[in-house]
Amino acid sequence: MEHMLLLFILFIPILGLTNGTETEQDFTWHLKKIPQIMSERTFSLESPKFEAKTNLELNSVCGIECQRKLPLPSLSDLKDLLSYETVFENGTRTLTEVNVLGLVPDPAGNTTTRRATRKKRQIYGTDSRFSIYDKRFMTNFPFNTAVKISTGCSGILISPKHVLTAAHCLHNGKDYVKGSKRLRVGLMKTKSRGDGRKRKGARRSRREVSAAQKDPEDATELRQQSKGGRRKQRRSGRKQETSDRMPSFQWTRVKSTHIPKGWFKGVSGDIALDYDYAVLELKRPHKRKYMELGISPTIKMMPRSMIHFSGFDNDRSGQLVYRFCSISDESNDLFYQYCDAEPGSTGSGIYLRLKEPNKKKWKRKIIAVYSGHQWVDVNGEQQDYNVAVRITPLKYAQICFWIHGNDENCTQG
């Protein structure tokens, strides 16, 4: 199964090249000039209560159909929506107001593209998810970029010190969720087959030496117990080998979190899915390969409109779960997609593989954040869809600003 998975990952972009009249030149990362986010003022705010319950399914949110009816936000609106809160590990909180420079208005407005009749629910027919067991995949790119958030979500590494996830994993629109004050991020590591046994054996040997000095008969009994324990280990070796393939986590404390003001109720009128993203700054840098951000292309610029993401679904405890699927609908800010997913995978980074400009090399970049299985307004009725928040030029600029500050690294994406 793992070898088939590798073949899927390697050949999906190539399969897309044979779709109709599409050509290889269509599937390239096109660099765009990015608007600039500049901080203007920062205020201290009252510390959050951290009393909200984590809710991975949202109700009455503005989805693609709702967005069609909305006017384009003005520059003043955007400056307010892209201002952001920062919460630090000691519980203090600030609000930073921003300015937006070099913004090019989108003449298309809130346009949408519909591919096919959408299906509902989190699992569509046969479950097409893959659990990653083989450590050759689990501890290597791109799977090793997936992380677990201590509030029950997933995320993805986007720099040596930063993680991208969904805002509702940390904040319900009114208050920060319980557990987000002492937020931690779990980076995957594979269990060593010999973990703990040497130390256990060493303790037993010292007990034998100590017992022999006091009573030779006690020492003999301990040696017999030790042999019995080793026989048990040999008999259960196959079971241990299976459990050894499961990942464990190296947990790292979060130094600060950034959430756009557009996510908070009262600013946008209600929860707006298009601002369901957040960035966590780790207290200590990791030494792993991370995935770069990219500007989300339109469906027609994706091989077979296919996306990929990995996360830690609750129904497969302790397992990293990978999936790929096609997008059904898109607007300027959201995707609806068919990916099988369960709670726990929310906040995963959705990525795409396209060619680098003027090169033959294919490169993965993050183009969206999985917001999860959400209830959205469709013509006044509630319907459930799997939703992802696209990384637009403005969102790219903001996330890049959170990583690098007022830096030239954020001029193109």
What pLDDT digit, counting tens, does each position of 253-285 carry?
A: 999 999 999 998 755 556 678 899 999 999 999
Is the pLDDT assigned to residue 318 strictly greater than 50?
yes
Q: Could you give the CA distance from residue 403 to residue 184 in angstroms, rounded to a whole number?
A: 18
* Predicted pLDDT at 26: 66
Q: Provide the 3-class DSSP secondary structure of residue 183.
A: coil
Is the pLDDT assigned to residue 243 strictly greater than 60?
no
* Predicted pLDDT at 162: 98
Is the CA virtual torsion 193, 198, 203, 209 positive or negative? positive
In this predicted model, which residue has the larger pLDDT, 351 or 115?
351
Say which range, 27-41, 57-71, 140-154, has the weakest mean pLDDT.
57-71
Q: Could you give the CA distance from residue 384 to residue 397 in angstroms, rounded to a whole number?
A: 30
Q: Could you give the CA distance from residue 368 to residue 164 in angstroms, rounded to a whole number?
A: 10
* Predicted pLDDT at 407: 67
* Predicted pLDDT at 79: 94
What pLDDT digit, counting tens, does each position of 319-351 carry?
A: 899 999 888 888 889 988 878 888 899 999 999
DSSP secondary structure code for residue 191 in this structure: P
**pTM of this prediction?**
0.79
Is the pLDDT assigned to residue 252 strictly greater than 60?
yes
Residues written for the chain: 413
On average, the pLDDT of the chain sits at 77
Q: Could you give the CA distance from residue 276 to residue 334 in angstroms, rounded to a whole number?
A: 10
* Predicted pLDDT at 24: 47
Say which range, 129-138, 263-272, 313-322, has the weakest mean pLDDT.
263-272
Going by pLDDT thresholds of 50, 70 and 90, the confidence category of residue 18 is very low
Q: Could you give the CA distance from residue 269 to residue 290 in angstroms, rounded to a whole number?
A: 35
* Predicted pLDDT at 232: 43
* Predicted pLDDT at 282: 97
In this predicted model, which residue has the larger pLDDT, 262 or 118?
262
Is the pLDDT assigned to residue 388 strictly greater than 50?
yes
Is the pLDDT assigned to residue 73 strictly greater than 70?
yes
**Longest CA pairwise span in the chain (Å):** 89
* Predicted pLDDT at 409: 75
Q: What percent of the chain has pLDDT over 70?
A: 69
In this predicted model, which residue has the larger pLDDT, 275 or 214?
275
Q: Could you give the CA distance from residue 309 to residue 298 in angstroms, rounded to a whole number?
A: 18
Tokens coding 247: 């990942």
* Predicted pLDDT at 246: 66
